[in-house]
Amino acid sequence: MEVTVWPLVRWHWFRHSIPIAIFTMLLLYLSARSLGTLSGCGSWTQACIREGPPPFQVQQESGALVASEELPCLEPQGRLGRMMRPFRASLNPPGDIELAQYLAGWRELVNFLTPLGSIFTFATSEAFTKVTALEARVHGPDAEHYTSLAAMAAWERRAGLLEPPGPVLQDSSQSSGSRTLLLLHRALRWSQLCLHRVATGTIGGPDAGTQCSDAYATALGPHHPWFVRQAARLAFLAFPGRRRLLELACPGTTEPEARFALARAAGTLEDVYNRTDGLLAERGLLRLA
């Protein structure tokens, strides 16, 4: 019976999991140690990103100094401004992350990534599902315990809601808020690294698809099955070029201005990522999934 049933089970799993696996790369698993190793900033509890020239150097090398407040995409209603504003607001509690603002930032990040091509279509759908699941807790009957990351983690630990480390449930509504946030946190790492490389990459150097594919191979690839890594490598071939991505990020500006704006946005994501990473590490939650 095992000889007959196992191939069918294996094929059923493969057929249904590969479409999801290909397009949910942002939300698959990183080990906590790998997060730190990628940063090059020392301790794995502070996985900051410092690749390529800083934003001001990008401006200088392009020969144009940019007044950031004058760029429409960075204004409160601009494409990047709408994303940066709630993420920045999530940092307002000293030493904590305000969850409602964090999730509002994620919604805007999903809106920004969705037009970038089919490789992000299902990934952003998965992120949206997790954002919605966590928002149900933030606005649910136990909302008083889900105002911030620290409050949520403390409440779920006291209430015995934290799962032991292991496979992640496909139904985000059945996972703890802490585990759901951890998956979003890991997705933010890849998004941050990809946007930072696109913004600060050398003119005439690797294109955006190559840089974001390399970021995937560095950050997520080692933790994925072989067939997922190969599918991702092929999918990145259809990634929009740097010029197109910059046009989407900051319409109606020059390339130096768009690079500067995207670097500012990536820096905001970095600030949120680093604080979240530290909070999760302090509470032993980086290995929750």
**CATH code of the domain containing 186:** 1.10.3520.10
pTM of the model: 0.75
Domain assignment present for residue 269? The answer is yes
Domain assignment present for residue 238? The answer is yes
CA distances for 67 relative to 70, 269, 270, angstroms = 6, 20, 21
Domain assignment present for residue 237? The answer is yes
Give how many domains the chain has, as a whole number: 1
Please check whether residue 119 is in contact with residue 238, taking contact to mean a CB–CB distance below 8 angstroms.
yes
Q: For the chain, how many residues are written? A: 289
Q: What is the pLDDT of residues 26-71, one digit of tens each?
A: 433 333 333 333 333 433 333 444 444 444 444 444 434 444 557 9
Q: Record the tokens describing residue 18, joined without a space.
A: 């590969």
Domain assignment present for residue 28? The answer is no
Domain assignment present for residue 79? The answer is yes
- The distance of Cα 198 from the centroid of its chain, to the nearest Å, equals 15
Q: Which structural domain, as residue segments, surrounds residue 254?
A: 53-282
Please check whether residue 235 is in contact with residue 118, taking contact to mean a CB–CB distance below 8 angstroms.
yes
Domain assignment present for residue 172? The answer is yes
Domain assignment present for residue 6? The answer is no
Please check whether residue 198 is in contact with residue 245, taking contact to mean a CB–CB distance below 8 angstroms.
yes
Specify the pLDDT at position 175: 86
Which residue numbers in the chain have pLDDT < 50?
Answer: 1-67
List all residues 6 or more positions away from 241 whose beta carbon is below 8 Å from its beta carbon: 207, 208, 209
User: Which residue from 204, 221, 186 is spatially nearest to 47, judged by alpha carbons?
Assistant: 186
What gap in Å lies between CA 289 and CA 285, rounded to an integer?
8
Domain assignment present for residue 189? The answer is yes
Backbone angles phi, psi at 98, to 5 degrees: -80, 120
